[in-house]
């Protein structure tokens, strides 16, 4: 066991961390974080639309969601190249990279140029003139993969050209001209790529990208994919001190399109279980379902565990548990890592099964307020008390599993405390 | 007044830590501005801060954060796991005072 622990902390964890530090990966994560307000506005719409179910005159706020959460991929298309350029220390041309990202993205999602049933500017009426037809959903979660891959491609090309300027160091040209030309070529190249595929060859890169990732998404949506991925991200790696944000780009590519598709799915069609909203049902107290542990720590025998429990209980109620994971500690502490792993496997397993068996409704609306107490989230994302019941059952299970291990650890800590007290007394 | 920035993943867990540090400072009559943000927002604050503190679960980012902070002469340190684990504001305040004068 010790050998494995050492291997994890000395060889494996640093490798994972290096992966997370990689600018290509971290710019995706940061871009999504920057777009978080949009995701939260969508969540607010879900919240307020509940009022609409009880109060008949309350307006349908869904369109607000379309122009916030529904523009997620469009925003990522700008942000990813922008952030990438900043990380690669080419801040001068970050904005241009963002704009190129927007152009490429709009080309990637395969718009169709044609007549829209007519708009005339003079009298603000519709008569029949040129327009562009875009699938609205692709500006949002449907276009996520296209936005990420397109964004990385733009970043790659812009970065390449930024390193090799067309002008000599001591050029007589003023800076803004050199910047214009140094960005002109790569931007034109990027737009040409999109144009050739979309309008000249009429190949929908959007369809190709999504087809390539279909098997990967299918795995992510399968039972084992769901359980093992969430176990890895929220429990296993976390227990070795690796932040749950490390796998976020991969997670995002699975969960956001899933909830997006669920929200427009025809009634009766099969829904995607693996959404961020689903995952929040078993992350009671945070990754590793630690709320139960934190509550039990309040009545610990050892002083240290009681103090840590008390300090961390408020964040834990709001599903923020870095303090308790590092404080108990759970991380690198085999006695508490084992129950965390058990719960980390059972939680997602029970959640998935309850949904695939139709016992709990699958979430259909974005609701990313993961830091609300879990029973509330349980109702909000499933719009039924079955969700609350699921949360309570998983919570009860986590109590049962953590209890014996905590008892052992507490006894150990208490004995240590008594020892040092005796030593001081001598 | 000195400015300290705490970073973690979203700024959520470090938010609780920041609150406790501010309280500990108030308790001993010291003035210090402590903000908690996501590490992705570092660029917006790097020019105005005197010290950058990082949550222990972001240890892997330490080198990158140090590189980012160097041109601005901002020291970067990891908050100890014990202090973070018990959200001990006083302990982190001590850590802060060892690096910058309050």
Do A155 and A236 lie in one domain? The reply is no
Strand partners of residue B51 = B4
A129's enclosing H/E stretch is strand A129-133
Report phi then psi at A246, rounded to 5. -60, -40
Quick check: B40 and A323 CB within 8 A? no
Do A47 and A66 lie in one domain? The reply is yes
Q: Considering only CB atoms, which chain B residues are within 8 Å of A245? A: 9-10
Copy the structure tokens of residue A348: 């997602």
ipTM: 0.74
Q: Which domains does chain B have, with CATH numbers?
A: 2-99 (3.40.50.2300)
Quick check: B86 and A244 CB within 8 A? no
In this prediction, residue B33 has a pLDDT band, given cuts at 50, 70 and 90, of: very high
Answer with the one of A165, A184, A212 that is the final residue of a domain.
A212
Q: Considering only CB atoms, which chain B residues are within 8 Å of A13? A: 60
Do A294 and A207 lie in one domain? The reply is no
DSSP string computed for A325-362 = HHHTT-TT-HHHHHHHHHHHHHHHHHHHHHHHTTSSPP
pLDDT of residue B4 exceeding 90, the answer is: yes
Question: Residue A304 belongs to what domain range?
Answer: 222-425
DSSP assignment, residue B72?
G
Q: Using CA atoms, how far apart are residues A86 and A82, in angstroms rounded to an integer?
A: 6
CB distance A362 to A255 below 8 Å: no
Answer with the one of A212, A239, A265 that is the final residue of a domain.
A212
Degrees (nearest 5) of the Cα angle A276, A37, B16?
Answer: 80
Across the interface, of A20, A323, A329, the residue whose CB is closest to B13 is: A323
Q: Using CA atoms, how far apart are residues A2 and A392, in angstroms rounded to an integer?
A: 35
Do A68 and A42 lie in one domain? The reply is yes
- The percent of residues above 70 in pLDDT, for chain B, comes to 99
Do A383 and A406 lie in one domain? The reply is yes
Domain count, chain A: 2
Do A243 and A156 lie in one domain? The reply is no
Among chain B residues, CA nearest to A370: B12
In a domain, A181, yes or no: yes
Quick check: A322 and B60 CB within 8 A? no
Q: What is residue A147's predicted lDDT score, i.e. its pLDDT?
A: 94
In a domain, A271, yes or no: yes
Answer with the one of A212, A235, A265 that is the final residue of a domain.
A212
pLDDT along chain A (426 residues), means of 10: 74 75 87 89 86 80 88 95 90 89 91 65 62 85 92 93 74 77 87 89 87 92 95 92 84 92 88 94 94 95 92 92 89 92 96 95 92 93 94 96 95 91 81
Copy the structure tokens of residue A327: 């404080």
Do A261 and A332 lie in one domain? The reply is yes
pLDDT digits (tens, 9 = 90+) for A30-69: 899 889 889 989 888 888 888 777 887 888 888 888 899 9
């Amino acid at each position: 066991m010790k050998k494995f622990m050492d291997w994890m902390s000395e060889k494996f964890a640093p490798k994972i961390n290096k992966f997370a530090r990689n600018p290509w990966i971290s710019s995706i994560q940061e871009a999504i974080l920057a777009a978080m307000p949009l995701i939260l506005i969508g969540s607010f719409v879900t919240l307020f639309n509940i009022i609409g179910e009880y109060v008949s005159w309350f307006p349908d706020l869904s369109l607000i969601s379309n122009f916030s959460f529904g523009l997620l991929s469009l925003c990522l298309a700008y942000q990813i190249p922008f952030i990438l350029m900043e990380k690669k220390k080419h801040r001068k041309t970050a904005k241009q990279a963002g704009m190129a990202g927007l152009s490429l993205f709009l080309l990637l999602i395969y718009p169709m140029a044609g007549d829209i049933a007519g708009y005339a500017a003079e009298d603000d009426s519709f008569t029949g003139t040129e327009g562009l037809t875009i699938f609205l959903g692709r500006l949002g979660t449907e276009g996520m993969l296209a936005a990420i891959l397109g964004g990385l491609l733009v970043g790659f090309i812009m970065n390449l050209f930024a390193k090799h300027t067309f002008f000599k160091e001591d050029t007589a040209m003023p800076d803004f001209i050199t910047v214009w030309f140094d960005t002109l070529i790569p931007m034109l190249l990027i737009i040409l790529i999109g144009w050739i595929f979309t309008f000249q060859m009429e190949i929908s890169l959007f369809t190709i990208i999504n087809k390539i990732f279909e098997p990967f998404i299918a795995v992510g949506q399968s039972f084992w994919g769901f359980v093992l991925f969430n176990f890895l991200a929220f429990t296993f790696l976390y227990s070795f001190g690796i932040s749950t944000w490390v796998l976020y780009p991969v997670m995002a590519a699975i969960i956001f399109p899933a909830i997006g598709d669920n929200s427009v799915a025809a009634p009766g069609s099969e829904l995607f279980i693996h959404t961020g909203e689903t995952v929040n049902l078993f992350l009671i107290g945070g990754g590793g379902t630690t709320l139960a542990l934190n509550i039990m720590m309040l009545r610990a025998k050892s002083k240290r565990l009681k103090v840590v429990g008390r300090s961390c209980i408020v964040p834990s109620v709001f599903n923020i548990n870095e303090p308790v994971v590092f404080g108990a500690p759970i991380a690198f502490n085999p006695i508490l890592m084992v129950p965390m792993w058990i719960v980390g496997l059972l939680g997602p397993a029970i959640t998935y099964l309850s949904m695939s068996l139709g016992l709990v409704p699958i979430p259909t609306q974005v609701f990313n307020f993961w830091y609300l107490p879990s029973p509330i989230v349980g109702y909000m994302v499933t719009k039924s008390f079955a969700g609350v019941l699921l949360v309570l059952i998983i919570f009860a299970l986590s109590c049962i599993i953590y209890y014996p291990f905590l008892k052992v650890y507490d006894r150990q800590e208490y004995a240590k405390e008594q020892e040092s007290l005796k030593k001081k007394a001598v | 007044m000195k400015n300290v920035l705490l970073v973690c993943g979203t700024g959520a867990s470090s938010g609780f830590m920041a609150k406790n540090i501010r309280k500990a400072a108030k308790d001993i009559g010291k003035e210090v501005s402590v903000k908690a943000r996501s590490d992705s927002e570092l660029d917006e604050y790097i020019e105005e801060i005197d010290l950058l503190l990082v949550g222990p679960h972001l240890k892997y980012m330490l080198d990158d954060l140090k590189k980012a902070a160097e041109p601005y002469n901002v020291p970067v340190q990891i908050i100890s796991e014990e202090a973070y684990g018990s959200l001990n504001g006083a302990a982190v305040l001590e850590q802060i005072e060892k690096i910058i004068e309050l």
